[in-house]
Amino acid sequence: MNDDFPLTYCTNIHPGDAWVDVLRNLDEHALEVKRACSPERSFPLGLRLSAQAARELDDTKIRDFGDWCHRHGCHVLTLNGFPYGAFHGTRIKEAVYRPDWRDARRVAYTKRLADILVQWTPNSQESSISTVPVAWRDGFSAEHWPLVRTHLLDMLSHLARVRDRSGALIRLALEPEPHCMLETIDETVGFFERMAFPASLSEHIAVCFDCCHQAVEFEGPAECLARLASAGIRVAKVQVSSALRAHGARIAGLLKFDEPTYLHQAVGRRRDGQLLRFADLPDLGRWLERGEPLEECRVHFHVPVFLAELGEVDTTRFFLEDCIPRLDRGTPLEVETYSFGVLPESLRLDSVARSVVRELNWVRETLDAAHCCH
């Protein structure tokens, strides 16, 4: 078994926004995953903490959770600080990006996450907080960039003070996503050039590389990773996730995955190679109703990573099979199939915990196959 890559799953798969919900989900699900995947070793946790949970965590609860980790053989690897508010059981859609990096509430929330995380992070361990890719594209204008930079510099300065005080290195990991201000890898590199973060703070800023998102953009793992490396942009963690995919007449089958909770951005490719972008599946449906042909279409819908197809449509598992062997040793990997609960009922193959175990085992087998002879 390859142990060079910290491997976990993101607890945003579990509903609940209060701290008591986080604890219940860890007790009921994460410990089952630990017993199956890491019975003898400490199990890394990818925690999602909402703003509500972060507010509820006082010093006593933070210490108590440190004790919980020690007692159960777990440790916190990374925090998901992307969704600020509710993430299950209600209409999320574009609200998942708010407040964004134009809003002081995003800064305060992320600072609070850092102050919590440092108390669960040994001095020798690097960790990360993933966050929104600046903002949703609609309604953003060039005049907003200075405010974004001001807020990000404030956040990075806070992380630098945390390191000076504790020795712990925490990186803010911006997560490119379709139809956001950081969407393609070229846009992400351009953003870092635009922000021109001072060298004294640059070690605290990175990206969270979500495989589903970049696959939807028709980008290739080799090109993405090489572009980031050549620009000196760190990958703080990789979210191991897979999207939907269909060709030709089967593209209409993607529309059955439309549901009212999450955005499912789509990118279609015409025969001439032109890419067309749709903010959600209903937009794709209206395009198809006009009879406009697409050669291939990919949809932002996080599906179990071990599946190459889901009913009549395919997945972008091929992206993961290409990406995982290319990653630098030590890169934290976090499976993120948060939309398990909104999959069509016929496609929910197992319980949540057992599905997570299958996903982690598939990733580990892919790593072993890639690195067994190196």
Closest CA to 128 of 37, 239, 16, 17: 239
Quick: pLDDT tens for 245-283. 999 999 999 999 999 999 999 999 999 999 999 999 999
Residues 100 and 134: beta-carbon distance below 8 Å: yes
Is the confidence at residue 344, as pLDDT, over 90? no
Quickly state the pLDDT bin for 60 (edges 50, 70, 90): very high
> Mean pLDDT of all residues in the chain?
95
Percentage of the chain modeled with pLDDT above 90: 89
**Cα 92 to Cα 102: distance, rounded to the nearest angstrom:** 19
Residues 170 and 114: beta-carbon distance below 8 Å: yes
Instruction: Name which of 184-188, 342-346, 349-353 the model is least confident about.
Output: 342-346
Instruction: Name which of 50-64, 185-199, 298-312 the model is least confident about.
Output: 298-312
pLDDT of residue 182: 98
Is the confidence at residue 347, as pLDDT, over 80? no
Q: Greater confidence, 370 or 255? A: 255
Please give the domain boundaries of the chain with CATH numbers for all domains.
7-244+303-371 (3.20.20.150)
Q: pTM (2 decimals)?
A: 0.97
Packing angle of the helix pair 145-166, 104-117 (nearest 10 deg): 20
pLDDT of residue 351: 81
**Cα 254 to Cα 312: distance, rounded to the nearest angstrom:** 9
Mean pLDDT of 98-126: 94
The tokens for 242 are: 């897979």
Closest CA to 267 of 238, 237, 287: 287
Quick: pLDDT tens for 131-187. 999 999 999 999 999 999 999 999 999 999 999 999 999 999 999 999 999 999 999
Residues 6 or more apart whose Cβ sits within 8 Å of residue 240:
211, 305, 320, 324, 333, 334, 335, 336, 359, 363
Respond yes or no on whether the N-terminal peptide bond of residue 146 is cis (omega within 30° of 0).
Answer: no
Closest CA to 304 of 6, 1, 33, 13: 13
Which residue shows structure tokens 């440190």? 66
Is the confidence at residue 349, as pLDDT, over 70? no
Is the confidence at residue 374, as pLDDT, over 60? no
Task: Give residue 260's identity as a one-letter amino acid code.
Answer: P
Q: Which residues of 204-224 are buried (b: 16+ CB within 10 A; e: fewer)?
A: bbbbbbbbbbbbbbebebeeb
pLDDT of residue 373: 52
Mean pLDDT of 272-297: 96
The 3-state secondary structure of the chain, one letter per residue: CCCCCCEEEEHHHCCCCCHHHHHHHHHHHHHHHHHHHCCCCCEEEEEECCHHHHHHCCHHHHHHHHHHHHHHCEEEEEEECCCCCCCCCCCCHHHHHCCCCCCHHHHHHHHHHHHHHHHHCCCCCEEEEEECCCCECCCCCHHHHHHHHHHHHHHHHHHHHHHHHHCCEEEEEECCCCCECCCCHHHHHHHHHHHCCCCCCHHHEEEEEEHHHHHHCCCCHHHHHHHHHHCCCCEEEEEECEEEEEEHHHHHHHHHHCCCCCCCCEEEECCCCCEEEECCHHHHHHHHHCCCCCCEEEEEEEECCCCCEECCEEECHHHHHHHHHHCCCCCCEEECCHHHHHCCHHHCCCCHHHHHHHHHHHHHHHHHHHHCCC
Instruction: Name which of 82-91, 103-112, 146-155 the model is least confident about.
Output: 82-91
Is the confidence at residue 1, as pLDDT, over 50? no
